[in-house]
A and B are shown apart, each in its own frame.
Chain A
Amino acid sequence: MAVEWVTEPFDDEDSLASLAPYVRGWFESTFSQLTPPQRFSFKLIGEGNNIVIASPTGSGKTLAAFMAILSELFKMGERGELKDSIYCVYVSPLKALDNDVRKNLLAPLRGIREVAARDGLELPEIRVALRTGDVTQSEKQRQLASPPHILITTPESLAVLLNAPKFSNSLRSVRWVVVDEIHELVSSKRGVHLSLSLERLADLVGKEFVRIGLGATLHPLEEAAKFLVGYREDGELRDCKLVDVTWYKPLEVKVVCPVKDLVHASADELNEGMYEMLDRLISRHVTTLVFTNTRSGTERVTYHLKRKWKEKYNDETIGAHHGSLSREVRLDVENRLKSGRLKAVISSTSLELGIDVGFIDLVVQIGSPKSVTRAVQRIGRSGHRFEDTSRGVVIALDRDDLVEVAVMLKCALEKRLDRVQVVKESLDILAQHVVGMALQKKWDFYEALRLIRRSYPYRQLKEEDFRSVLRYLAGHHVGLEDRRVYGKIWYDEEDGVFGRRGKYTRVIYYLNIGAIPDETKVDVYRLPDKVHVGEIEEGFLERLRPGDIFVLGGKLFVFKHARGMRCFVESAPKGAVPTIPSWFSEMLPLSFDLALEVQRFRGEVARMISSGEEKRKVVSWIASNYPVDRRAASMICEYIREQHLFTGGRVPGFKELLVERTRYSGREYLVFHCLFGRRVNDALARAFGIAASDALGSSVGLVVNDNGFSLVLPQGKEVDVTSLVKTVVGYDLEGVLRSNIRRTELMRRRFRHVAARSFLVLRNYKGYKISVNKQHMNAQTLLRVCEEISDDFPAISETYREILMDVMDLEGAEKVLAWLREGELKLDTIRTSSPSPFSHNLILTGDADVILMKDRRRRLIELHEAVMRKIRSGGLV
């Protein structure tokens, strides 16, 4: 297979000569030169090559992709071969981008015809149309009557169109498919969804079309190529050319600290400092793009900026942008941003996806963006023209952030990206497409399987897994009578054929398609008057215990009780502190590669400190080798020095694992200073938790984050670390996790979403919306029932797969255990009377979970005893 890197651009003359003369004429009269990606793409696409182009903002990507296509379309028009049919499909995950691309095509389409007209040539019109969930009925009718030549759409809409009875016929003439923001799609289930759509489209067209992938930088780019092109009938990967021009754009970055003392600054002071800093930065630039990592963060920052500087920051001058906002609001913000009327836009992740945002001269990131690649992608949004420098500032909010970001930005400057994580073989996504396929026609089992396996993520799909999906969709797990309702396809296992069933199935498919799960919102009411104060996620509600204190909309509340999808709270008393992190489900994971770099850095600084280097010298070293100001450098040094002093020199450095036995708030903690990023730590934490639970014969609590994890042990129980480690390094990690994941709450959380994607729980059905049916039955019960049906119930096996492969990094965790086993990762244990500086976050801030004791009978007995103990100690009995 030829995945071929193309590193030498073509001559401008060569590139332009490959275009039709009037196309060339228009281009030369409009632009003074070709941009770097264009120097590759005009010729390569013109020659019909599949290609992936990684290039930064402002590099003329749209024309890079479309010029050769427009040229070919106009030539067809000249020859009278242009029919009322679709020849090119452009797909991006973001509607805003779709809007932009359509607008950006109008000028060349008009301009090229004008140039041709001047030479006496009348070219037919090339029609471009947008097809997304937002498009009106009348527009859809128009498109049916007069199909566009170029269709611009989203992954979900494409899947719907493949099944549109009449409109899908227009897709049979497709010759080019452009996939934009491919870096975003490669690592998500949305991409897996699109990948199957592309194979179904190829099947519909009946012959190969040219596949063009566009995106920001990612590593390794070969993965993006394989994802885009998939496999041929003969089993070989289709050919693809690779072009990467991302590093042409200069990068200027630094990390700053909003207060002098991150440790002792109160939450208020930290906030004040952050807003002061934000204000300074925004005021000094023309337009700033501010990234927070969460939607709630976006809301909060926007709200406080407006509150503190009413004249400067108001609805006219700044705007918030995230997925939960209405289409109108988002469109309005995007338009004002483009026309330069906004001083700042605050966003969570949506603007990371590239829209032509107009002039942005600074990107501010609040808190760590968690991976080098993401940092580069976000900061790369600034600097409008290709030659403009991308400028970014990261505001660190705690000391772990500070250390992490310093290392991250250095890697960014050195162009060392972290590996992209590819999602594969999702049975829930497959279920959606099988329904779509069944709606189209009757399929032979192997014919369908062959099509599915042409998609890269499904290359290794097992026959049994495909069969179990068919059985599930056909309702074979319920009685014959009930299949009318439960079955969305019929499946004759003996003859090996399947097809559609049920009069509602088409509607179910249209209304429920997609990979993005609907977070079911739980309404929160404040007692005693039951005022609605906001919403939380169902997954978060599951975790809440009566008495827990959490943040919502900037205020503190105490959880009282819940019924169904309604949650009741009281305002927290003065001086209360949160007992549970509010945003756990939205935390992005630190990448494994970057985590190792952070370890190296910590070890280096620790070494300097323990060898007696003067503080001044250490700070200078940090400030001159890493993109941090002196204040930040000083804080980093102080942080590591504190750990050094507190533990008598035991600072975990590169490939050093420190296990700290400590107590906090009346509980025993075993803190593993294990800086490998959340995905690896998720696997390790659960492996250690399982070993501890089995050794102690009791349930064990966990807190996991990027820097390590803690085991929370029940009172009076102690465990020997050395024997614990010995047990865990001897594990068949995948086997142990697979057979024990059921004992964790993580299983329940993920099952919720998989169930929705598998059409087991519908978002929208006969007028019922998902919140209604969730009132009656929770995920836990549904999970239990599905398990009783069979071990390979697809929603269940997909949940296991998602947890082991997407949530956890099994490979990384196995590597760490191998290092431990061979002594490459050195183990050290200490006991402290209270948590060391590095362990604060490992106890208070992270993803909490529980490993339930294996023996359910014993578990109930222990639970009973725990309840009685608590009551007796409270003097209540």
Chain B
Amino acid sequence: MELLRGVFGIEPFPAVLLKDVRTAVIADMHIGFESAMANMGLFVPKVQLSQELEALRQVGKLTSAERLLIAGDVKHEFGEFNTTGFRELLNALESMRRLFSKLVVVRGNHDTYLPKFTGKVDIELLEEFAEGRYLVAHGDVEVSSPRTEGEVVIIGHEHPVVVLYDEVGGKERIPCFLVGRLYDGRDIIVLPAFSTLVSGSEVNVMPKEELLSPVLRESADVDEMDVIGVTEFGYMHLPKLGVLRASARA
């Protein structure tokens, strides 16, 4: 499903394909989340990585992409880095590297110590990915100014989620793509988190000032953004974010 010119959603996954450069893009894997939780006394069993790798396997099959680009936060865990975490991430990177011919990681705010790995696995580590029409960044800081005409910005970091209610009080939280425009005219796509465990920003009920990404807070026309929900059965086309927010207030 085409989200923007040349950018296709890889249904039903929280991933997009940049067709002309044969690159699959995801964001916010947060590998090692469970370890971080366990270190704080929340002993959540480890299921995330195997689920993510399986999803990536299918993404690879569906698209025959040659390159996997991760828009930040491939890992979780700030600070102290333990050996099991190190090994888990290394194995994960090696597995991903085997699924795709090239692996590129754009640095996210949780991606501390990543340079340690560039020696061990063949990955490219960047602050921002700029190639052709595409500018891919994490989204935790403002992005660079436009380089070309018709540039498309892709970020993660926000973990956008919509909270939907039915008439009898049932509630669902659905991760989603946000597709829209920056004030400077560029197109922008916000990727949902690839991680199945992290919490997200409830974009249809929270005020703009509370959004995590300064790109969205300061530079995007948030209400005009299209919302595409990501469920295991496929994408869900929802009205614009502004409309969803107005209806939540009612």
Q: Which residues of A contact B (CB under 8 A)?
A: 477-479, 481-482, 484-486, 545-547, 560-564, 667, 699-701, 712-715, 759-766, 768, 770, 772-774, 776-778, 781-782, 785-786, 788-789, 848-850, 852, 856-857, 859-860, 862-864, 866-868, 870-871, 874, 876-877
B170 contacts A699, CB within 8 Å?
A: yes
Q: Which residues of A contact B202 (CB under 8 A)?
A: 561-563
Which residue of B47, B170, B249 contacts A850 across the interface (Cβ within 8 Å)?
B170
Is B44's beta carbon under 8 Å from chain A?
Answer: yes
A782 contacts B44, CB within 8 Å?
A: yes
Q: Which residues of A contact B201 (CB under 8 A)?
A: 563
B35 contacts A777, CB within 8 Å?
A: no
A563 contacts B206, CB within 8 Å?
A: yes
B195 to chain A, nearest CB (A): 10
Q: Which residues of B contact A484 (CB under 8 A)?
A: 84
A870 to B204, CA, bound (A): 14
B164 contacts A867, CB within 8 Å?
A: yes
B42 contacts A773, CB within 8 Å?
A: yes
A775 to chain B, nearest CB (A): 8
A776 with B199: in contact, given A546-B205, A766-B39, A876-B247 (CB under 8 Å)? yes
A852 to B167, CA, bound (A): 12
Q: Which residue on chain B has the smallest CB distance to residue A479?
A: B46
Return 16 A-B CB contacts under 8 Å, by A number: A485-B35, A546-B248, A547-B248, A699-B170, A712-B169, A760-B42, A761-B41, A765-B40, A778-B199, A782-B42, A850-B168, A860-B231, A867-B164, A871-B243, A876-B247, A877-B243
Which residue of B35, B37, B205, B239 contacts A561 across the interface (Cβ within 8 Å)?
B205
Q: Which residues of A contact B120 (CB under 8 A)?
A: none
Q: Which residue on chain A has the smallest CB distance to residue B174?
A: A860
Contact residues of B between 138 and 171, Cβ < 8 Å to A: 164-171
Is B210's beta carbon under 8 Å from chain A?
Answer: yes
Q: Which residues of A contact B44 (CB under 8 A)?
A: 777, 781-782, 785-786
A785 with B197: in contact, given A481-B87, A546-B205, A871-B243 (CB under 8 Å)? yes
B136 to chain A, nearest CB (A): 26
A774 to B166, CA, bound (A): 27
A765 to B38, CA, bound (A): 10
B250 contacts A547, CB within 8 Å?
A: yes
A546 to B205, CA, bound (A): 7
Q: Which residues of A contact B43 (CB under 8 A)?
A: 485-486, 759-762
B169 to chain A, nearest CB (A): 5
Q: Which residues of A contact B166 (CB under 8 A)?
A: 699, 714, 862-863, 866
A762 contacts B168, CB within 8 Å?
A: no
Q: Which residues of A contact B47 (CB under 8 A)?
A: 785, 788-789
In this complex, the member of A713, A773, A866, A877 whose beta carbon has the largest number of chain B beta carbons within 10 angstroms is A773
Is B21's beta carbon under 8 Å from chain A?
Answer: no
B45 contacts A768, CB within 8 Å?
A: no
Is B207's beta carbon under 8 Å from chain A?
Answer: yes
Q: Which residues of A contact B250 (CB under 8 A)?
A: 547, 870, 874
Is B236's beta carbon under 8 Å from chain A?
Answer: yes
> How many A-B contacts at CB < 8 Å in the complex?
157
B167 contacts A714, CB within 8 Å?
A: yes
A478 to B45, CA, bound (A): 6
Contact residues of B between 89 and 127, Cβ < 8 Å to A: none
A867 to B174, CA, bound (A): 13
Q: Which residue on chain A has the smallest CB distance to residue B172?
A: A863
Q: Which residues of A contact B199 (CB under 8 A)?
A: 564, 776-778, 781
Q: Which residue on chain B has the smallest CB distance to residue A711?
A: B168
Q: Which residues of A contact B45 (CB under 8 A)?
A: 477-478, 486, 785-786, 788-789
Q: Which residues of A contact B164 (CB under 8 A)?
A: 863-864, 866-867
For the side of the interface on B, what is the size category? 35 or more
Which residue of B37, B165, B206, B247 contacts A773 across the interface (Cβ within 8 Å)?
B37
A712 with B168: in contact, given A546-B205, A789-B45, A860-B236 (CB under 8 Å)? yes
Q: Which residues of B contact A848 (CB under 8 A)?
A: 169
Contact residues of B between 235 and 250, Cβ < 8 Å to A: 236, 238-239, 243-244, 246-250
A789 to B45, CA, bound (A): 7
Q: Which residues of B contact A (CB under 8 A)?
A: 35-47, 84, 87, 164-172, 174, 197-199, 201-202, 205-207, 210, 231, 233, 236, 238-239, 243-244, 246-250
A554 to B82, CA, bound (A): 49
Q: Which residues of A contact B167 (CB under 8 A)?
A: 667, 701, 714-715, 866
A761 to B41, CA, bound (A): 6
A852 to B171, CA, bound (A): 9
A545 contacts B171, CB within 8 Å?
A: yes
In this complex, the member of B37, B45, B201 whose beta carbon has the largest number of chain A beta carbons within 10 angstroms is B45
B248 contacts A776, CB within 8 Å?
A: no
Which residue of A547, A563, A857, A877 contacts B249 across the interface (Cβ within 8 Å)?
A547
A40 to B234, CA, bound (A): 74
A772 to B37, CA, bound (A): 10
B248 to chain A, nearest CB (A): 5
Kindly list 10 other residue pairs between chains A and B, CB separation below 8 angstroms, not including A714-B167, A776-B199: A546-B248, A563-B206, A699-B168, A701-B168, A776-B42, A781-B44, A785-B45, A848-B169, A860-B174, A874-B247
Q: Which residue on chain B has the smallest CB distance to residue A487?
A: B43
B41 contacts A768, CB within 8 Å?
A: yes
In this complex, the member of B165, B167, B236 whose beta carbon has the largest number of chain A beta carbons within 10 angstroms is B167
A9 to B199, CA, bound (A): 65
Q: Which residues of A contact B233 (CB under 8 A)?
A: 856-857, 860
A877 to B243, CA, bound (A): 7
B41 contacts A770, CB within 8 Å?
A: yes
Closest 9 CB pairs of A and B: A765-B41, A701-B168, A762-B41, A773-B42, A773-B40, A768-B40, A699-B170, A561-B205, A866-B166
A835 to B8, CA, bound (A): 52
A874 with B246: in contact, given A713-B168, A776-B199, A863-B170 (CB under 8 Å)? yes
A546 to B84, CA, bound (A): 42
B170 contacts A852, CB within 8 Å?
A: yes
B35 contacts A772, CB within 8 Å?
A: no
Q: Which residues of B contact A857 (CB under 8 A)?
A: 233
Q: Which residues of B contact A777 (CB under 8 A)?
A: 37, 42, 44, 197, 199
Q: Which residues of B contact A563 (CB under 8 A)?
A: 201-202, 206, 210
A482 contacts B84, CB within 8 Å?
A: yes
Q: Which residues of B contact A776 (CB under 8 A)?
A: 36-37, 40, 42, 198-199
Which residue of A478, A547, A700, A864 contacts B236 across the interface (Cβ within 8 Å)?
A864
Q: Which residues of A contact B170 (CB under 8 A)?
A: 699, 701, 850, 852, 859, 863
Q: Which residues of B contact A871 (CB under 8 A)?
A: 239, 243-244, 247
A766 contacts B42, CB within 8 Å?
A: no
A781 contacts B249, CB within 8 Å?
A: no
B12 to chain A, nearest CB (A): 11
Q: Which residues of B contact A867 (CB under 8 A)?
A: 164, 238, 244, 247
A485 to B32, CA, bound (A): 13
A860 with B41: in contact, given A561-B206, A778-B199 (CB under 8 Å)? no
A481 to B91, CA, bound (A): 14
In this complex, the member of A715, A778, A850 whose beta carbon has the largest number of chain B beta carbons within 10 angstroms is A850
A485 to B237, CA, bound (A): 43
A867 to B240, CA, bound (A): 12
A701 contacts B169, CB within 8 Å?
A: yes
A762 with B42: in contact, given A482-B84, A563-B206, A667-B167 (CB under 8 Å)? yes
A486 to B37, CA, bound (A): 11
Q: Which residues of A contact B197 (CB under 8 A)?
A: 777, 781, 785
A876 contacts B37, CB within 8 Å?
A: no
Q: Which residues of B contact A849 (CB under 8 A)?
A: 169
Q: Which residues of A contact B174 (CB under 8 A)?
A: 860
Q: Which residues of B contact A785 (CB under 8 A)?
A: 44-45, 47, 197
A700 with B168: in contact, given A482-B46, A563-B206, A876-B247 (CB under 8 Å)? yes
A785 to B196, CA, bound (A): 9
A870 with B247: in contact, given A482-B46, A761-B42 (CB under 8 Å)? yes
Q: Which residues of B contact A856 (CB under 8 A)?
A: 233
A667 to B169, CA, bound (A): 12
